[in-house]
Amino acid sequence: MKENLKTIFYALIIALIIRSLFFQPFYIPSSSMEPTLLVGDRIFVTKTTYGYSRHSFPFSPGTSNKRLFFNEPKRGDVVVFKTPADNRTDYIKRLIGMPGDVIQFIDGDLYINNNQVLKTKINNKSFEIFCGDSPINVSAYEEKLPNGKSYIAVYRNDATFKNSDKYLVPNNHYFFLGDNRDCSRDSRFLTSVGYVDKTNLVGKARIIFFSNDNRSKDLMNLFKLPKTIRLDRFFDRIKWKIIQKN
C-alpha cells in the first residue's frame, strides 16, 4: 500500500509539472470558435509559447502581474486566456488586436488601424454552424490579417454585427474575437471580457487530440456512441477546418 501511494503521488507531481509548464488539455464547450473549433473538441495548449504567469498554474495562485520568459503572441493565434472579469474562467478566441491597435467594425467589415481586413467570401462550400444548440444561417469568409495569417470567419445572414465604436487596445493588452462572429462573447463586450492583459494569457491552442459530437442524440445509446466520434478531427493542427453540410 505504501509503495502504491508513493507511485500515485509521484505520478500526480509529474502530471502537475507537465500541465503547468508544458501542455494542458482543454475541452471546447461552446460554438463561439466555429468552424475552427467545435463543441466536443478536446485540444492541447502549449504553456511555453508565451511564457509563464500565475495563470499558468492551477487555481492561479498569488497576485503577481509579472510574466516570466514572455514571448509576444502573434496576431491570428488561437489563444486560451483567463477572462479579466473574474481571472478564473478560461476562454478561447482568436487574437486580432495587438497593443496600441485600433479595432472597428464598419458595415460588417473588420478594420485594424483604419485598414480593412481582406475578406473573401467562400461560395463553393456550404457550412454547418451552430449558435448554442441551434443551427444558424451564415456566410463564410476567409479573412487575411496584416501579418498574412488567414482563417475562416462566419457571419449570420439575418442579424450580423455591423458597426461599432473604435476599440483602442491598451499597452500590454490584446483584443480577441471568436471566429463565429455573431455567436461569441469576446473583447467587443467590454464589461465581461474586454481587453485582455498579457498576464491572463494561458497558452496557444495547438492540436485537437479528440473530438465527438456532444449534440448527437446517439450519446444516450452506447451502441451508437462510436458514430458521434469525429475521427477526421483527431490530431488536427488548429488553423481552420471546413465543416460541410451533408
Return averaged pLDDT per consecutive 10 residues of the chain, 246 residues in all.
Answer: 74 74 89 94 94 85 83 96 92 97 95 96 85 91 94 90 93 97 95 94 94 70 71 83 43
Among 32, 184, 187, 211, the one annotated catalytic: 32
Among 47, 53, 56, 93, the one annotated catalytic: 93
CATH fourth-level superfamily of 2-58+72-237: Umud Fragment, subunit A (2.10.109.10)
Residue 93 is among the residues annotated as catalytic for this protein: yes
pLDDT of residue 222: 54
Cα separations in angstroms, 53 against 65, 145, 154, 202: 7, 28, 33, 8
pLDDT of residue 245: 43
pTM of the model: 0.87
pLDDT of residue 246: 36
> Pairing state of beta strands 102-106 and 167-168?
antiparallel
Residue 32 is among the residues annotated as catalytic for this protein: yes
Q: Break the chain into its structural domains and give their ranges.
A: 2-58+72-237
